[in-house]
Amino acid sequence: MVVALESVVGHSIHVWHVSEESDLKEVLPRGEVPQSRVEFRNGELIPLLDTHVVGPIEKMPGYWFEVELKKSEADARDYGELIGSLLSSEVDAIEMASELADRYEEIDLLYTIAETIGRTVSLSAACKSILREVCAVVGATRGSILVCDADGEVLKPVAGEGIDVTDFEPIPISDPDSIAADVFREKRLISLDPSDPSASTRHYREQRTYRGTAYLSVPILYPEANKSPKPIGVINLTDCEGTDAFTTGHSKLVSAIANQIGATIENARLVALDKEREKVNHELEMARDLQKKLLPTFHREHGYSVAARCEPAEFVGGDFYKVFDLADNKTGVMLGDVSSHGFAAAMTMASVLSAAGIHAEAATSPDKALSSLMASLADELDRTEMHFSVFYGVIDPDCNCMVYANAGHPHAFLLRPDSEPARLGAMTPPLGLGGADIPPGERLDWERGREVLLLFSDGVSDVVNDEGNRFGEERVLEVVTGSLDSTPAEIVDNVYARLADFGGAAPDDQTVLVIKA
């Protein structure tokens, strides 16, 4: 710099600095103070040699120049302005270069994160990569990224650097003792600089388990159109290298990164949720297919034609039916309805069907079969708080009769061409709501070619259309009595066709079973 200045003014130049304590130091070129040349007296730098002139440098308080020539004070002032301008430009250039050098790592980090965002869709992979780069730039030896769960109740750790977050418990967003929870709720940065005597740890310090004193916790925000930013997670940084203190520059950088990656993390989280939903839906489809295999559509046992159809209100349901090929040329027919619907009801339904096959073959009568069924399922029904209605009839062609037991199932009818439908009423409450003892079954005539047994669940009769009308039991009986000459399969199809014409969403699983000779 001295050479550059001397080439401009054409003379040798020295620059001096006077501290607040009046200490005099030659800064350009560096050297010892020769008392024979200048001295600082009464607030001014005074030349001691006639061939030297001095003057203050404009815009640089405390700095003076010395030129080795004879000039007037006016000339000295002109040199001061020129030298001050040149030195100011040089200082600005040096500061800019220093700032660019200091911010190179930050700029490179933002570029690296942009590349990560462009090529990564995995939430875990994206967060791990971003956290690793951030920790390296700000000098944090431990860090974590937490993301809010789908229900918005807890923060779950998805990435860690310098620490294994695999076994970390989720943090409730309402937790008053958590730094991360406060940052998420308040959508603001919280940090501690131990070198700042005014800094307060509030109530956090006793709760923390990391080693360092300083910490930096920044909210990850997702910008939503026409709304305030939505918090979706938190970046936590601790154990800073060196002085164990995060600077204001670190806070600004991490905040900028948090804003940049907010949309990426939210999108990655949504992709993960979609994949999980697809997996669950696939598994539910498999469960639905399995349940359909447990409930075959058509049967023909001992000359009896049977048709049945089950439409669950959800992927799987709690309605069930079964036709048993029993000893002595007998045929058993069972239809039931587990309370509620959906997956829990389907699990109970599977247990009922499994146990029903065993007890139907071992029992001597329908009432004994239902009593044994209830006894075997009592613990499960009590644990799950489930119950189920069930009708079970056994047709004996040798005596032209049917014996049945009914535990709380309301929709069971015997139909003949020349008479009104006969309700086969319940003898006891649904299994799981009453005792295990079932009264002796009822015996009815069963004449081949005349009798039609109709069983259906309340999901059929309880349908309500857009006009607020209930489908009702009467419409079901109307369809069936008008189709007695049809096959059971045609009768079942007619019921569902009428339901479709009626409209309205199914409130529960819908099942219809028809058996005739």
Q: What residues pair up with 221 in beta bridges, in sequence order?
A: 231
Query: In this prediction, what percent of the chain has a pLDDT beyond 70?
Result: 74
Tell me the mean pLDDT in the region 305-319. 84
* Residue ranges of domains in the chain: 2-98, 120-274, 295-516
Is the C-alpha dihedral spanning 195, 196, 197, 200 positive or negative? Answer: negative
| Residues 6+ positions from 199 with CB-CB distance below 8 Å | 192, 193
Q: Label residue 133 by pLDDT band (50, 70, 90).
A: confident
Task: Look at 12-16, 208-212, 461-465 and tell me which has the smallest mean pLDDT.
Answer: 208-212
* 454 Cβ neighbours under 8 A, 6+ residues apart: 411, 412, 413, 414, 415, 421, 476, 477, 480, 512, 513, 514
pLDDT number for residue 209: 53
Phi, psi (5° rounding) for residue 140? -90, 130
Nearest 5°: phi and psi at 117?
Answer: -60, -40
**Global pTM exceeds 0.75:** no
Q: Which CATH superfamily is domain 295-516 in?
A: PPM-type phosphatase domain (3.60.40.10)
Residue with the two structure tokens 């009423």: 425
Higher pLDDT, 477 or 53: 477
pLDDT score at 60: 76
Q: Taking 80 as the threshold, does the pLDDT of residue 410 lie above it?
A: yes
Q: Which residue has the tokens 């669940």?
A: 457
pLDDT at 230 over 50: yes
Q: Tens digits of per-residue pLDDT, 443-489? A: 999 888 788 999 999 999 999 998 989 999 999 999 999 999 999 99
The whole-number average pLDDT for the span 404-415 is: 94
Q: Which DSSP category does 429 fall into?
A: P
The CATH number of the structural domain formed by 120-274 is 3.30.450.40
- Write down the residue that tokens 């045609």 correspond to: 490
pLDDT score for 182:
92
Quote the Cα angle for 72-76-78, to 5°: 115
46: which strand partners? 39
Asked if pLDDT for residue 200 goes beyond 60, the answer is no
- Would you call 190 helix, strand, or coil by DSSP? strand
Residue 340 has pLDDT above 60, yes or no: yes
Q: Does 183 score more than 50 pLDDT?
A: yes
pLDDT band at residue 435 using 50, 70 and 90 as cut-offs? low
pLDDT number for residue 75: 57
> Could you tell me if 261 and 117 are in contact, meaning their C-beta atoms sit under 8 angstroms apart?
yes
Distance of alpha carbon 299 from alpha carbon 463, whole angstroms: 27
Residue 141 tokens, joined: 């030896």
pLDDT, one tens digit per residue, over 17-52 is: 888 777 888 877 655 555 568 888 888 888 888 777
Sign of CA dihedral 394, 400, 401, 402: positive
Gap between the Cα atoms of 369 and 360, Å rounded: 5
Biggest CA-to-CA distance, the chain: 145
Q: How confident is residue 203, by pLDDT bands cut at 50, 70 and 90?
A: very low
